[in-house]
Amino acid sequence: MKTYRVTVEGQTYEVTVEEVATAPASSGGARPAPTAPATPAPVPPAGPRPGTAPILTLAPGERPVPAPMPGKILAVNVVPGDTVAAGAVLLILEAMKMENDILAPGDGKVKAVKVQNGDTVNTGDLMVVLE
């Protein structure tokens, strides 16, 4: 057994350590160290998690275009009433120093634009509503 003095955050502790001998090679090697019993993971509180978008309520036939990641709106290319084709660039979102085109998921008409240039969005925030 060996005794060591350890200082952690200004507090000094004396620790005694016992050396464990390994089993001879003929018996299959070293013994596995005993494991501590597993403790259950903490249960998160009920309700929405921080950083998640609220549940959207849309009319039948409306399609949301949510933010795929957090970022800043650099350009809005559509206004309510515009007709767009699938793949049309609705707006440009800057995230991690990169410009990301946000595309129309399908053909439709722009019902609402919920963001403007300079806005900051989080993942899942509603940006455009198509019908």
Q: Which residue has the higher pLDDT, 51 or 122?
A: 122
Backbone torsions φ then ψ of 116, nearest 5 degrees: -140, 170
Q: Distance between CA 27 and CA 34 in Å, rounded?
A: 18
Higher-scoring residue by pLDDT: 131, 51: 131
Diameter of the chain measured on Cα atoms: 81
Q: What is the CATH number of domain 63-130?
A: 2.40.50.100
Segment 51-78 shows an average pLDDT of 83
Confidence band of 37 (pLDDT split at 50, 70, 90): low
Mean pLDDT confidence for 41-56: 55
